[in-house]
Structure 1
Amino acid sequence: MAVRNGIVTLTTDFGTVDGFAGALRGAVLGAAPGLRVVDITHDVPPRSVRDGAFALRCAAPCFPPGTVHLGVVDPGVGSDRRLLVIVDHGMQHVYVGPDNGLFSYVLDVARAFETHEIDIGAFPSASATFHGRDILGPVAGRIAGGADPLAVGPPVAEPLRLPRHVEPMGAREGRVLQVDRFGNLVTTLRPLGGDVVVDVGGVRVARHVRCYAELVPGEPGWYVGSLGLIEVALGDGSAAQAIQRGLDAPVRLL
């Protein structure tokens, strides 16, 4: 991958109250001061790899070729879990972070990618509790500055993966993948091309709309969201609260 645009994105569960997000940004810029560092989010719920994976899936494809995405949602920091650099040859993006499934959802839609393990022995003074600052940040900065992303260490056959975030085309059974901050239920199912009834854990939602605005207050309905997946919403409210269904609830198309 030869393209570099000087952009590094950050996706973490650090929050913004403490100085950890700032330290990570400084570590990236310390490796290459001319970079542009862009926050995707620092509000991933603590230790929630799944939420971090969803944030990256929503935002990473919006960035231009040559972007380096640094993800640090790392409850296993200091353990023997691996640190990875993943090159998506189709999008020409690079992902840097722990091998815990954080990049699963972007890899679900990647056409071709290569993975290498970062040689942490090259960072003997790294803190056991802050690999983001002491290893991942500098690596991301160097790669964004032009270093070879595949020279960080040995190749890895396959990174750890979460269950796929999208079912095969034509599937009628899936699950709730995500509950967004508005209480909408994002499913793993794609539309079948016509009106169906969406059954979420035994609660049936028949109204098919194009967008939220077509729902009256308190009315449930389903639509195709910005990721191309079926979502269930409630007019001016939270579908998750109204129908009392959440993550991993079974979903069927009837």
Structure 2
Amino acid sequence: MKIIQKYILAATFLITTSMGVLSVAQARTPLVLLTDFGQADGAVSAMRGVAFGVDPQLNISDLSHQIPTYDIWIAAYRLYQTANYWPQGTVFVTVVDPGVGTERKSIVLKTKNGRYFVGPNNGLYTLIAERDGIAEIREIDEKVNRLPGSADSYTFHGRDVYAYTGARLAGDIIKFEDVGPVLDPVILTKIDYQKANRSGNTLRGNIPVLDVNYGNVWTNIPKSTLDQLSINAGDKLQVSIFHKDKKISTLVLPFENSFGGVKVGKPLAYVNSLLNFSLAINQGDFAKKYHVESGADWHIQVEKSASSNK
């Protein structure tokens, strides 16, 4: 009886081990989709269908399909916000493309940390390229990397070119070198915005995006820059918000480590989950109350207030 039990245990181990090896063998590079399509129609499903048609074993995920229509800047920030949490080798198919069918190039950008971004050269990769660096850019050769039978379609490159090429790359059907010819990185279209910087006791930066669920205002000023002014919990900060050259508001706010540092309904400054300077109202909507929006033309100025108690 003991001998039989040993054989059963050994067989179970071999089967379990074999299944584990099989699972590893079937694993695929993640293919991540980002669009402004919404999901009220079949556009996203069509892209997924094309990708699965290339390789039924693909590991397809969604970053978001709720990017505001035509908003290249917000899409660029969502890539910046999330890309580095995905494994090296991940392929991002990014389709916010108001210039579809025009002369803007279709490209695949490989970052220095080994992630791939498939989409139009229209500014989508501004923040990714600055933070992660460009290893190489290739133009998609549509004579090879285009959904068969789609040559007469000019307005859905997300399905016909980007999903198809991204799936072939993620499925290891093509190598990066097979995408198309190498392009000089200087051709990359970039969106101009206020970089985070310090001048004396003044910090300046951009308001790239709002925390859409709560109305918190996020900036691109990193904690490391904030620390240069020796700002600590309880300090008072003078914060001015601008849209283009127009000042929207100036406030004196306490800097706190978390929302509970102030009473419910009161505003504060804090460092968000990306370790960037941000503004909020405890259980309220800062952006709505103070008429703040976001984008490349919104910026902020921060100074340590003379009324600070530190």
Q: Do the structures match in fold with TM over 0.5?
A: yes
- CA 1:5 to 1:222, structure 2 compared with 1: closer, same or farther past 3 Å? farther
Please tell me the residue identity of whatever aligns with 2:210: V
Report the alpha carbon displacement of residue 82 of structure 1 after superposing the two structures with TM.
Answer: 0.7
Question: What is the CA deviation profile of residues 207-234 of structure 1, one whole-angstrom value per residue up to 9, with x for unaligned ones?
Answer: 1111233332221111111222111111
C-alpha contact (below 8 Å) 2:94/2:119 kept by paired residues: yes
Given that 1:85 and 1:150 are in contact with CA atoms closer than 8 Å, whether structure 2 keeps it comes out as no
Looking at structure 2, the residues matched to 227 and 42 of structure 1 have their Cα atoms a distance apart, in angstroms, of: 22
Runs of 4+ aligned structure 1 residues displaced above 4 Å come to 168-171
Alignment of 1:6-85 (within 5 A): 6-85=29-108
CA contact (8 A) 2:218 2:277 kept: yes
In the alignment, does 2:244 pair up with 1:197? no
Q: Which runs of 5+ in 2 are unaligned?
A: 1-26, 242-248, 304-310
**Partner deviation per Cα, 1:47-86 (whole Å, 9 max, x = no partner):** 1111111111111111111211110111111111111101
TM-score (norm 1): 0.90
Q: Choose the corresponding residue for 1:110, options 120, 129, 132.
A: 132
Paired with 2:238 and 2:298, the residues of 1 have a C-alpha distance of 12
CA distance in 2, matches of 1:152, 1:128: 20
AA at the equivalent of 1:141 = A
- Cα shift at 1:235: 1.1
Task: State which of 269, 285, 301 in structure 2 corresponds to 1:252.
Answer: 301
* Deviating more after overlay: 210-219 vs 47-56: 210-219
Q: d(CA) in 1 for partners of 2:49 and 2:162?
A: 12
C-alpha distance in structure 1 between counterparts of 2:260 and 2:177, whole Å: 47
1:184 is aligned to 216
Find the partner of 1:144 among 149, 154, 170: 170
**Structure 2 vs 1, CA of residues 36 and 198 (structure 1 numbering), >3 Å: closer, same or farther?**
farther
Q: Which whole-Å CA distance do the structure 2 matches of 1:148 and 1:215 have between them?
A: 53
Q: Cα 1:29–1:226, aligned 2, differ >3 Å: closer, same or farther?
A: same
Q: Which amino acid aligns with 2:98?
A: P
Out of 134, 144, 154, which is 2:160 matched to?
134
Q: Distance in 1 between matches of 2:108 and 2:56?
A: 21
2:123 — aligned with what? Answer: 101
Give, in whole Å, the separation in 1 of the partners of 2:77 and 2:115: 17
Question: Which of 195, 206, 227 is the matching residue for 2:274?
Answer: 227
Do structure 1's residue 161 and structure 2's residue 161 form an aligned pair? Answer: no
Displacement of 1:168: 4.4
Aligned to 1:125: 151
More helix as a share of residues: 2
- Quick check: 1:200–1:245 contact (8 Å CA) kept in 2? no
More relative contact order in 1 or in 2 (CA 8 Å, sep 6+)? Answer: 1
Name the CA shift for 1:178/1:34 in 2 (closer, same or farther; >3 Å).
same
Cα displacement (A) at 1:151: 2.3
Q: Report how many residues are paired.
A: 250
Go from structure 1 to structure 2 and tell me whether the alpha carbon gap of 1:185 and 1:25 turns closer, same or farther (over 3 Å shift).
Answer: same
Q: Name which of structure 1's ranges 147-156 and 15-24 shifts more when overlaid on structure 2.
A: 147-156
Residues 195 and 206 of structure 2 are in contact (CA less than 8 Å); yes or no, is this contact kept in structure 1? no
The alpha-carbon distance between structure 1 residues 79 and 46, as it changes in their structure 2 partners (threshold 3 A), is: same
Cα shift at 1:150: 2.9
Compare 203-212 and 26-35 and name the one that shifted more.
Answer: 203-212
Counterpart in the other structure of 2:203: 172
